[in-house]
Structure 1
Amino acid sequence: MRPRLRGMNAVEVRDLHQRYGGHVAVDDVSFTVEEGEIFGIIGPNGAGKTTTVECIAGLRTPDSGSISVLGLDPIKDRAEVRERLGVQPQESSFPDAIKVAEALELYSSFYREPADWRELMELLNLTEKRDTRYKSLSGGQKQRLSIALALVGDPKVAILDELTTGLDPQARRDTWSLIERVRDRGVTILLVTHFMDEAERLSDRIAVIDSGRVAALDTPAGLIARANTVRQVRFRVSQPLDRSVLTELPDVTDVAIAEGRWLVTGRGELLSSVAGALARAQVVARDLRVDRSNLDDAFMAFTGRAPRSAQLSERAVD
C-alpha cells in the first residue's frame, strides 16, 4: 500500500446539490472525512446517501457545490481520482465463468500502480478460492471479492455502499473484521449502510442524511447522547415502595409495575436518579436491568423513522 497522506482531509464536501427533474436528491450537504477514519453515512431510503457518494466518486456531476478527494476534483481530475479512489457499489455482478484470480488480475491491469492482487486474496481470505468461478462463490465470498476489486488499485480512499446486505450474521461480522484490517492498512473508508449495528461498530464518525440534508454528524456515542433518547430501568424491590418516590424525579417520565417488576422510563441520567432515590428510601433494587439507547434510537430521533434494518426485521417476524 502507498503511504497515507498527512495534513489534509481525505474528502471534503461543501454545499452539495443534486436534482433529478423536480426531485431534490441532495440539498446543501456538507461534511469532511478525515484521513485514516471510517466515516459512516446512514439515513432512510431515498435520503440522498448513494447520490452523495456517487458524486464523490465522480460518477455523477453535481448541480452545484464542491467536492475534493485528496485535494482533487472528481470531475475535473477524474483520471487521477480514479487511481486513488476505490468503489464497492451497492450491487456488483461479474461473468459467471470468471475465476477469482482472473478477476483480480484483470482489474489490477486497469491501474498504473496496483496493489499486489495476490496479497489482497490473502487479506480477504480468498486464496483458497483463487480458481473458483464467480457463480460458485457464496454470498460472503462474492462480497469479499467485490471489496478486493475496490482495493486492487491501491486506493487511499474506498467507498463501500451497503457492504453486508444479504449476508448471514457470521459473514457480516467476518466482513466487519476485514474492513477494520483494511483501515489499519491506511485506507480511509466511506461506509454507506442501513445496518445500525454495523455503523456503530465500524464508524469513527457518522453523518445522518435525511431528505437530502445532513441531519446530524458526530461519533456514534455522540449521536446517541445528542438524541436524548428514552431510557428504561427494570428491577424488583426489596420492600414496598411508594410510586411517588420515582414519579417525582425530573428524569422520570413513566413508572409501571407488572407482576412485581418495576419499569421506570425516562431520559438523561435516569439510572443515577433512580439509584439515588432507592438508596434514600433504603430500598434495594433486585434483578436490575438497564435498557440502553443505541444508534437505532438516535436514527429514529433524527429522522422520525425506524432504520431499514429494523423494518426488515419486523417483516421477517410478521
Structure 2
Amino acid sequence: MRIAVLGMGVIGKRLVDAVTEHPDLELVGVGIRRLTGGVLARPDVPYFLTDDGTPERFKGTGITVAGSWNDALAQADLVVDAGPSRSGAGRAASYRAARVAVRYCGGERDRSLGPVLHPALNREIGFGLRSARLASCNTTAIGRTLAAIGVGHIARAHATIIRCCTDTDKAAKGVTNSAVFDARPSHHATDLREIIPEMSLSTNAVTVPMVSGHVILLRLHLTDCELDAAVSRLGAAQGVTLLTEGTHDSALIRERAMRSGMPRGDRYDIAVQACRDGDALSLAVSLDNEAITVPETIDAILAYAATPAVAASLS
C-alpha cells in the first residue's frame, strides 16, 4: 500500500520511520511547507510542497522536492494527515477530490472526518473506510489499557491525566511554573465513548511543566472483582510493560528509553503500575506522548486493506 504523510513534526517524522520500515507499506513521500530539523534528518525521503512556494528555496540543503502535494496524492492509496491539531477539516475536500483514503492524527474533533479508530477496540470498522480519525496520545493509552483488561470486565472507570505542557521540540511554548487545571471533564472520555459507547468512564486533566511524558492515574471497578486476573491480562497484552511496586519517576523512565538505542528514545509501550485498592484496581500509566500513537496508527493503516475487496482494489 502506497502511503503519503502530511507533516514532519513530532508525529509525522515518527510515522515516516514506521512506514519506511514496514514491509507491506511504501512511502510515496511527505508533504511539507518549510525546512525543519525533522526534514533535514531524513534527506532520503521525497518531499512534496503543500504551498505555492518554489522548490528553489530548498536548493543546497540536500532535500529532494519531488513535486506538489497534489502530485503525492495522485500516487498514494492512503494519506496519514499529521498536520497541526484541528486543521484536518480544511484539507478533507482535497483528499476527497483525489479519491485517496485518509487517517487523521492528533485527536481531531470534527466528526465529519469520520469515526475515531482504536485498533485494540474497534479495528474492524476501519476496513475499507475512506476517512477516519485516530485518537490522541492519552486516549490511545487509556484505550490500550482498557482493551488489555477487557472492556467487558470493567463496570466503571475514572482517569486523571497529568500531561506535559509541551513537546520536546517546542521550547518556546508551555507552562513554566504552574499546574493548569479544570474541574470539568476532559475530552478523553468523550472520545473513548465514540469508540465504546457502553463504557462508564470519566476523565479529568491537569497540565504541568514537564516534557518527560504523560502520566495517567486510572481507577477501575471490575464487574467480576477478579483483580489478580485483570493484572495478569494487562501484563500479557502487547504494548504493555508492568512496573514493579514502589515509587516511579517519569523522567527516569524517559532517560532509560533514551539509552535503549531506539531513535530519539521513542517508547511505544505503556508502562503500568497496578495495585489493589479495596475492591478497585488502581493503575498508574506512564506514556511517551510523542510516540505512543505510532503502533495504533500503523495498525489502522493496515486495517484499511484488511478485507479482500479493498486489498484487490489496491493491487
Q: Which has the higher contact order (CA 8 A, sep 6+)?
A: 1
Which TM-score band (shorter chain)? under 0.3
Q: TM-score, normalised by structure 2?
A: 0.26
Q: TM-score, normalised by structure 1?
A: 0.26
